Amino acid sequence: MIEIKEYFRPKSVEEAYDKLISTEGAEIIGSGAFIRLSSRKINLAIDLQDAGINYVKKEGNEIKIGGATPLGDVERNEIIKKAFDGKLLEVFQLIWSVQLRNTATIGGTIFPKLGFSDLITVLLALNTDVVLYENGRMPLEVFLEEKIRKDVLTEIIIKDEDRKLSFQNMRNSFYDFSMLNAAVSYDKKDDFRIAIGARPGVAKLAKKAMNYLKENKNIEEASKIAAEEFEYGSNIKCSKEYREAIAPILVKRGLEEVLK
Ligand SMILES: Cc1cc2nc3c(=O)[nH]c(=O)nc-3n(C[C@H](O)[C@H](O)[C@H](O)COP(=O)(O)OP(=O)(O)OC[C@H]3O[C@@H](n4cnc5c(N)ncnc54)[C@H](O)[C@@H]3O)c2cc1C
């Protein structure tokens, strides 16, 4: 069971970050929904609820979502409802339950790079940047490769481009994690983005397939290339072989949907 010694609610991100780096055993908590499943011993839990990073807004062609924003607030926001023909909203609605989404936060979803995450996969297939208090702004794919242990995720920024979006996943039941997921987006100028996640590792972009699609439109072949770019593994959800078998199918369904 998780153990928390002290609890702190900073009034700004600066205050949160200062406490995080100056206190041994300090941890940021989003809603605590995932962290509480661990047996971590936390000396100081830093709760970002009052730090001013709970919002969804649009500036120019960028959708900005604060790091402490609950997924439920994002889902109910009019900007998100309209974005990408409502396809982004559908992914939020897939995440477990209304109760979980009303608490689980954007920061708690992206920062720990959860392998099974549906949201990371779909955000990767869009042009998304992550903003960290100390390490600054960077593309999500760069953040996922970095080894940043202590920082505060203040915001994500999604480019609100004219992209068709498709999210595909396979799970044993609605209330379960994805055994594998894939997201595809297409901007009608031959720029495809394809991400595969829950392999069970965190989502990655299928760059070879994305390049292939710049010159070729053979969907069957592109799906095969995308699926073969990655190593898959077995876990409690399903086997490596099953993931290998369904990966090209999910990508193909995604490509077919965006090209419809
Ligand atoms: C039962 C259950 C079912 C789920 N089902 C799904 C699903 O179907 N699909 C899916 O995609 N996801 C699913 N999730 C994941 C969920 O959407 C959240 O990603 C998860 O709960 C973490 O969010 P949180 O706010 O509770 O983070 P917490 O548990 O509070 O924190 C998680 C980690 O993130 C760090 N952290 C939190 N906020 C920040 C920040 N702003 N900056 C830096 N670090 C931060 C914490 O230090 C901690 O290490 C599920 C989670 C649970 C518990």
Q: Tokens standing for 100?
A: 């979980």
Ligand 1 binding residues, C-beta < 6 A: 27-35, 48, 67, 95-96, 100, 104-105, 107-109, 111-112, 114, 117-119, 152-153, 177
Burial class (CB in 10 A: 0-12, 13-18, 19+), 161: middle
Phi and psi at residue 183, to the nearest 5°: -135, 140
Q: What is the pLDDT of residues 210-235, one digit of tens each?
A: 999 999 989 999 999 999 999 999 99
Q: What is the pLDDT of residues 197-216, one digit of tens each?
A: 999 999 999 999 999 999 99
What is the dihedral angle through the alpha carbons of 224, 213, 194, 171, rounded to the nearest 10 degrees? -40
Which amino acid residue places its CA nearest to atom 4 of ligand 1? 96
Distance CA(17)–CA(101), nearest Å, equals 25
DSSP assignment, residue 116?
Answer: T
Residue 228 Ramachandran class (φ > 0 left, ψ -120 to 50 alpha, else beta): alpha
What percent of the chain stands above pLDDT 70? 100
What's the mean pLDDT in 20-45? 95
Whether residue 139 is preceded by a cis peptide bond, meaning omega within 30 degrees of 0, is no
**Which of 20, 23, 28, 97, when mutated, tests ligand 1's pocket best, judged by the most ligand atoms within 8 Å of its CB?**
28
22 pLDDT above the threshold of 90: yes
Class of the CATH-defined domain 56-159: alpha beta
Distance CA(94)–CA(96), nearest Å, equals 6
Distance CA(180)–CA(198), nearest Å, equals 5
CATH number of the 167-259 domain: 3.30.390.50
Class of the CATH-defined domain 3-50: alpha beta
Phi and psi at residue 28, to the nearest 5°: -75, 140
pLDDT at 167: 98
Residue extents of the structural domains in the chain: 3-50, 56-159, 167-259
Which amino acid residue places its CA nearest to atom 8 of ligand 1? 95
